[in-house]
Amino acid sequence: MTPSRTLATAGRVLLQIRNDPRTIGLLLVVPSLLIGLVAWIFDETTVFDTIGPAMLALFPFIVMFLVTSISTLRERRSGTLERLLSMPLGRGDFILGYTLAFGLLAVLQTAIAVGFATVVCGLEIEESIVLLFVVAIADALLGTALGLLASAFARTEFQVVQFMPVLVFPQILLGGIFLPRDQLPNVLEVIGDWLPLSHAIDALTAVSTGGEDAAYIWLRILFIGCWIVCAIIVGSLTLRRRTP
């Protein structure tokens, strides 16, 4: 693994996306539109104040999951991955390159979504905005890492899209958006407590309401970080130079 190859890969991924303006538009605008829609639905209530931060956690995660799983699947299917692995590219170069590129996109996406949520929808942010970005980026990287993993188990684009309900929906359901986790049945509460998205939602809620101190938030970020590292390690094991 070498920095120049990792950066070359990240640059190449970003250049690919730059040549696809429609994807850029969707990536940057859709989260804000949906946040706006949720705010509008709960216009007369205070619900948006509680679930607004969770919305900010969801979008980078879902979008990055989809973008990464589909683009790595394309690499596997088009033969470019086979070509790269017959070249002196490390598996780490490949994965970190993708992580860097999509991490950068996640920062941009979050910046727009947070700007829209606070300025247009009136979401309050009590804690530091820096922490909010750190959580959102961790969230996006989690999506990238899980997307990479999902692409290894899918043979077609159809299958990879079906992996989203499997890997993403349970995390949304058990994350405490619909019902606070301590009110869930015991088994589900325990499962929910171990899922990474729950911690992202907790952290963003804390950032927004200011109910907890910074250590509480950093602990959650650390937990998400562990998930990212595990998913990347398992994902890199699925990138084999030799295949049957």
Least spacing, CB of residue 10 vs other proteins, in Å = 11
Question: Which stretch in 5-13, 34-42, 130-138, 205-213 sits in contact with other proteins by CB under 8 A?
Answer: 5-13
């650390």: which residue's tokens?
222
CA distance 167 to 87: 32
Q: For other proteins, which residue of 3, 19, 119, 182 counts as binding (CB under 8 A)?
A: 19
Least spacing, CB of residue 194 vs other proteins, in Å = 35
Least spacing, CB of residue 232 vs other proteins, in Å = 20
70 is written with which tokens? 């589909």
Count residues binding other proteins (CB under 8 A): 26
Least spacing, CB of residue 87 vs other proteins, in Å = 5
Residues 57-86 that bind other proteins (CB under 8 A): 78-80, 82-86
191 is written with which tokens? 């499962």
CB 61 within 8 A of CB 200: yes
Q: For other proteins, which residue of 3, 21, 88, 185 counts as binding (CB under 8 A)?
A: 88
Q: Is 111 in the site for other proteins (CB under 8 A)?
A: no
CB 175 within 8 A of CB 54: yes
Dihedral-angle region of residue 210 (phi above 0 means left; psi in -120 to 50 means alpha; beta otherwise): left
Residues 155-194 that bind other proteins (CB under 8 A): none
DSSP string, 203-235: HHHHHHH--S-HHHHHHHHHHHHHHHHHHHHHH
CB 128 within 8 A of CB 44: no
Q: Which is nearer to other proteins, 128 or 156 (CB)?
A: 156
What residues make contact with other proteins under the rule CB under 8 A?
4-5, 8-9, 11-12, 15-16, 19-20, 78-80, 82-89, 93, 241-244
